[in-house]
Amino acid sequence: MSKHKLEYIWLDGYKPTQSLRSKTLNAEDFSGKLEDAKQWSFDGSSTEQADGSDSDCLLQPVAVYPDPDRFGGNGWLVMCEVLNADGTAHESNGRATIDDGDDDFWFGLEQEYTLIDTETNLPLGFPKNGYPGPQGPYYTSVGARKTYGRELVDEHLHYCLEAGLNVEGINAEVMAGQWEYQIFAKGAADCGDQIWMARYLLERTGEKYGVAVDLHPKPIKGDWNGSGMHANFSNSAMRDQGGEEMLTEICEEFGNNLDEHIVVYGAHNEQRLTGAHETQSIDTFTFGVSDRGASIRIPVATIQNGWKGRLEDRRPASNADPYRVAAVIIKTTKRALAK
């Protein structure tokens, strides 16, 4: 019998921003199917998820992907949600907040991140004792004077595609050393699984290069763009029926529930959502066609399609939990359509 290496991956309980954790299980002849990935456990007292006197937490597999980078073959990446010892969802389990189990809602999340030189603790492209030239030339850039980290980024894209993640594109972003990938998925849970798995593969690829991945929404203070995770979303009503009145009502309902969204849109997001650098202020809600300074942008493609299609919530931060972001978007959209 051959051994298979299953990397169990989960989110810890650290606040205000959770981190990825993982450990390896060697199994005999694993099929690669989710139903054959067994439940496992871990020491929650070491991850801020349990007390030392009652430390067992459970890892419940929710998605399995082939591991594209584990030497020797037969490697698998197992995304897990965390359960209490009695099988109930742990309070840190953002996936459990999703109450819509079908794929009627479609999500396209634009994950921005910054690559950090671990020696200088500055973004790639930033000199040790100063700053690079003003932003502008770095967005979708080409060339050694403007583009930093492409080898790592391209390798990450390759691993994501080999693992079966639906990455639809990548690009260099506005600040030096800042990049983005976009993932599209049908269903909130699947989208969250893929974003977290792509984050895991990015962190692991960074380990090989000695480069850290920073998801802070404002990694460099001053006149530099922050990092977000713009959330494009739609459901069948928006795609099939649509109309200016419907989409306007949805946007207005988002504005009526400002705090409910902001609380799950990422820690330290007030440093990014200032009203500058293609953002709206964190305590203000606006929406508009093609407006990248609004809370919600109505894409011109949606207008061209007869006001049918997606909306883009530009407020989620790069460090937000995609499970919780998708869950609250679904809740508010359904509330608007029920009126």
CA distance 139 to 112: 12
Indicate if 205 and 276 belong to the same structural domain.
Answer: yes
Higher local confidence (pLDDT), 27 or 253: 253
Indicate if 85 and 173 belong to the same structural domain.
Answer: no
Indicate if 48 and 137 belong to the same structural domain.
Answer: no
Answer yes or no: is pLDDT of 1 > 70: no
Chain-centroid distance of CA 305 in Å reads: 28
User: Is there a domain that residue 47 lies in?
Assistant: yes
Indicate if 118 and 61 belong to the same structural domain.
Answer: no
Answer yes or no: is pLDDT of 174 > 70: yes
Identify the pLDDT of residue 101: 79
Indicate if 78 and 118 belong to the same structural domain.
Answer: no
User: Domain range spanning residue 124?
Assistant: 106-338
Identify the pLDDT of residue 180: 98
Using alpha carbons only, what angle is made at residue 296 by residues 257 and 16, rounded to the nearest 5 degrees? 60
Indicate if 332 and 236 belong to the same structural domain.
Answer: yes
Contacts 24+ apart (CB under 8 A), 133-136: 134/223, 135/174, 135/175, 135/176, 135/223, 135/224, 135/225, 136/174
Q: Is 210 left (phi over 0), alpha (psi -120 to 50) or beta?
A: left
Confidence band for 69, pLDDT divided at 50, 70 and 90: confident
Indicate if 113 and 79 belong to the same structural domain.
Answer: no
Q: For 118-148, what is each residue's pLDDT tens digit?
A: 999 999 999 988 899 999 999 999 999 999 9
CA distance 31 to 326: 30
Chain-centroid distance of CA 86 in Å reads: 29
CA distance 183 to 107: 8
CATH code of the domain containing 269: 3.30.590.10
Q: How many domains does the chain have?
A: 2
Of the residues 36, 67, 92, the one at which a domain ends = 92
Q: For 23-32, what is each residue's pLDDT tens digit?
A: 999 998 899 9
